[in-house]
């Protein structure tokens, strides 16, 4: 199985500041035939199911604010929130869907400083 490792485990950022969450896969999730990275990001608020934010490593889901962006390729990926809002407090997960089983990172808890 592909192991997904996120860093940091928790993060406190001031309102309006940038938040950066990293995700590293134990093997490449880049599919060479279509040059797509099989990597998604989800946001989970307390008591709620996960919500899809980003897929193909950098494509924002419809309705997701443009302060959320994804980048990276191969084995190293980043989720960036350009200007943190109070409603962004949540746990964020990366997931690879390159190969079954579809493994998740351990999660990064984002709080307000």
Partner 1 sequence: EVQLVESGGGLVQPGGSLRLSCAASGFPFSSSNMNWVRQAPGKGLEWVSYISSSSSSIYYADSVKGRFTISRDNAKNSLYLQMNSLRDEDTAVYYCAREAGSGSYSSYWGQGTLVTVSS
User: Which of the stretches 13-21, 45-53, 68-76, 77-85 binds partner 1 when contact is defined by CB under 8 A?
Assistant: 45-53
Q: Is 49 among the residues that bind partner 1 (CB under 8 A)?
A: yes
User: Which of the stretches 13-21, 49-57, 65-73, 78-86 binds partner 1 when contact is defined by CB under 8 A?
Assistant: 49-57
| Nearest-approach distance from CB 63 to partner 1, in angstroms | 11
| Nearest-approach distance from CB 98 to partner 1, in angstroms | 9
Q: Please answer whether residues 90 and 79 qualify as being in contact, where contact means their C-beta atoms are separated by less than 8 angstroms.
A: no
| Nearest-approach distance from CB 105 to partner 1, in angstroms | 8
86: left (phi over 0), alpha (psi -120 to 50) or beta: alpha
Please name the residue that has the structure tokens 């950098």.
58
Q: How is the chain split among helix, strand and coil, in percent rounded to 5?
A: 5, 50, 45
What's the CA gap between 113 and 110, in Å, rounded?
A: 9
Q: Is 28 among the residues that bind partner 1 (CB under 8 A)?
A: no
């Amino acid at each position: 199985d592909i192991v997904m490792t996120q860093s940091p485990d928790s993060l406190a950022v001031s309102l309006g500041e940038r938040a950066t969450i990293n995700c590293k896969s134990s093997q490449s999730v880049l599919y060479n035939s279509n040059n797509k990275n099989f990597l998604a990001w989800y946001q989970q608020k307390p008591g709620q199911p996960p919500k899809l934010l980003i897929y193909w490593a950098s494509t924002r889901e419809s309705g997701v604010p443009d302060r959320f962006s994804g980048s990276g390729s191969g084995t190293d990926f980043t989720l960036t929130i350009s200007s943190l809002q109070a409603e962004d407090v949540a746990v964020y997960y990366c997931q690879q869907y390159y190969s079954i089983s579809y493994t998740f990172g351990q999660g990064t808890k984002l709080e307000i400083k």
